[in-house]
Amino acid sequence: MWNRRLESLDRESIKKIQLERLKLTVRRLYENVPFYRSAFKSRGVSPDDIRSLDDLKRLPMVSKHDLRENYPFGLLAVPREECVRVHASSGTTGKPTLVLYTREDLQNWTEIMCRCLYMSGLRRGDVFQVTPGYGLFTGGLGFHYGGEAIGATVVPTGTGNTERQINLMRDLGTTMIAGIASYALHIAEVASEMGVDVKKDLQVRKGIFGAEAWSDSMMKKISDVWDMDCHDIYGMSEMYGPGVGCNCSHGEGLHIWEDHFIVEIIDPSTGEPLGPEEEGEVVLTSLTKTAMPMLRFRTRDMSKLLDTNGCECGRTHQRIARIKGRCDDAFSINGVKVFPGQVEYVLMKYPEVGMNYQLVVEKAGALDQLTVLVEANCKSPQDDSAKSLEKVLFRDLRTILGFQPRVRVLPPMSIERRDGKARRVLDLRMK
Ligand code: DLL
């Protein structure tokens, strides 16, 4: 284990730490963040009311919507000057959701990343290639600092340029990669086109993947194609980034670092907490974040608390099932989250756009591809006006999504309706 003492705490000690840290977080939010103060007041709770972990139920929940409403600095619990880093993820509409970090936050994030990476086999001496994006996305830098802290040789390639990734893997003798699961399969495909056999010609035998739901069968496929020990890492920008939890090599599911987070599962329609083995929405409370602590953040991810006592690996932290999917209409394109509202926000700026649009998600080889179908608002859009609308929409969508979608402008009424209603998202990947 990376941190044997903290990863194998007994239940009583975990609960004690959680309660202490929860009290501190609640007080900090009450005193420094007007949004939380008024949410507490409207529920009739004050920091003094938090006496046991059961009192968590009395606290308000927050969602991405609240982050957007308080964009950019409204949820800060420290002066902006104390923040040393900003990341952002897709918002539910046009605005990104922003997260800020103090130096202490970055240290805590690195600690949980180290636990996950160590659990997944990373050691000093490894050559660790980090393929998620560097920048506002938390993936690249999250893996990067964890890898360096463990003492591995980190290769910060970031996304894209797959041929170069493969050449580097071969030349540097990369032993472990981090990435988005589907990208691991894409690399293997490109490698075989280049005449590189990933099993024979490369030394990559360990992988850690996350940022989107991937099935057990996908995990098996990646393990087989690469002859690799695969691990699943979970996280989100609002809770530092990757590193909230990870699967060990023994038990099922993901260990969630309970000295940094409280995990609840709720019924997404009623908000009521659910018991072990009952499937629902993951709700997370941060316990160590200082710049932007999050109380009962509704992740929209579906999972369940596993009914287990401890784990063969010796870690005592609660396990949840691997994430099954989401309970809202967001979807992921190669790890980048897309909310239909973001796309709609762009489309609605243009009067030439008609009544209906549809987001078609498909596989292009191992990678995901998004096509935005848009109906024009006139009967027969001139070819050149359709083309120029496609161009501007492409430009705006690329800016807001952070990747290149395909855009097709079509005549009115050409997108299929069901009971008169358009289907906003047509996900053909599972077919
Ligand atoms: O995706 C952080 C991350 C980067 C995690 C790299 C793991 C690896 P966001 O862009 O804020 O942050 O998206 C967070 O991604 O609520 C889930 O819906 C999804 N997600 C993240 N990890 C997993 C996973 C990063 N292991 C959202 N399995 C989350 C399933 C995941 N879904």
Which backbone phi and psi does 275 adopt, to 5 degrees? -90, 180
Pocket test for ligand 1, best of 301, 324, 332, 401 (most atoms within 8 A of CB): 301
Asked if the model's pLDDT at residue 430 lies above 80, the reply is no
Nearest atom in ligand 1 to the alpha carbon of residue 132 is: 6
- Mean pLDDT computed over every residue of the chain: 94
Q: Show Cβ contacts of residue 125 under 8 Å, excluding neighbours closer than 6 positions.
A: 151, 152, 153
Asked if the model's pLDDT at residue 27 lies above 70, the reply is yes
Q: How far apart are CA 245 and CA 263, in angstroms?
A: 11
The average pLDDT across 415-422 equals 77
Q: How far is the CA of 110 from the centre of ligand 1 (A)?
A: 17
Pocket test for ligand 1, best of 246, 333, 337 (most atoms within 8 A of CB): 337
Q: Which residues pair with 241 in a beta bridge?
A: 236
pTM over 0.85: yes
pLDDT tens for 348-375 read 999 999 878 999 999 999 999 999 999 9
Contact criterion met (CB below 8 Å) for 268 and 325: no
Q: How far apart are CA 316 and CA 280, in angstroms?
A: 22
**Amino acid 125: pLDDT:** 97
pLDDT tens for 328-346 read 989 999 999 999 989 999 9
pLDDT tens for 277-318 read 999 999 999 999 999 999 999 999 999 999 988 899 999 999
Going by pLDDT thresholds of 50, 70 and 90, the confidence category of residue 381 is: low
pLDDT tens for 241-271 read 999 999 999 989 999 999 999 999 999 999 9
pLDDT tens for 389-409 read 999 999 999 999 999 999 999
The average pLDDT across 417-431 equals 80
**Amino acid 78: pLDDT:** 98
**Amino acid 379: pLDDT:** 64
Which amino acid would we find at residue 14?
I
Asked if the model's pLDDT at residue 6 lies above 60, the reply is yes
Residue 395 has which token pair? 């430009």
CATH class of this structure's domain 1-328:
alpha beta
Count of alpha carbons within 13 Å of 99, Cβ hemisphere only? 24
CATH pick for 331-427 out of 3.90.1170.50, 3.40.50.720, 3.30.350.10, 3.30.300.30? 3.30.300.30
Atom 10 of ligand 1, nearest CA residue: 89
Q: At what angle do helices 181-193 and 162-172 cross, to 10 degrees?
A: 80
Q: How many CB atoms lie within 10 A of CB 278?
A: 13
Contact criterion met (CB below 8 Å) for 282 and 303: yes
Pocket test for ligand 1, best of 89, 234, 255 (most atoms within 8 A of CB): 234
Judge if the beta carbon of residue 299 lies within 6 A of ligand 1.
yes
**Amino acid 214: pLDDT:** 93
Asked if the model's pLDDT at residue 94 lies above 80, the reply is no
**Amino acid 431: pLDDT:** 57
**Amino acid 90: pLDDT:** 84
**Amino acid 182: pLDDT:** 87
Q: How far apart are CA 56 and CA 325, in angstroms?
A: 25
pLDDT tens for 102-153 read 999 999 999 999 999 999 999 999 999 999 999 999 999 999 999 999 999 9
Q: How far is the CA of 343 from the centre of ligand 1 (A)?
A: 20
Asked if the model's pLDDT at residue 380 lies above 70, the reply is no
Nearest alpha-carbon partner for 32 in 53, 44, 15, 47: 47
Q: When comparing pLDDT for 383 and 84, which is higher?
A: 84
Asked if the model's pLDDT at residue 20 lies above 80, the reply is yes
**Amino acid 355: pLDDT:** 78
Structure-token match 């850690």, residue found: 208
Judge if the beta carbon of residue 323 lies within 6 A of ligand 1.
yes
In the chain, domain spans? 1-328, 331-427
pLDDT tens for 148-192 read 999 999 999 999 899 999 999 999 999 999 999 989 999 999 999
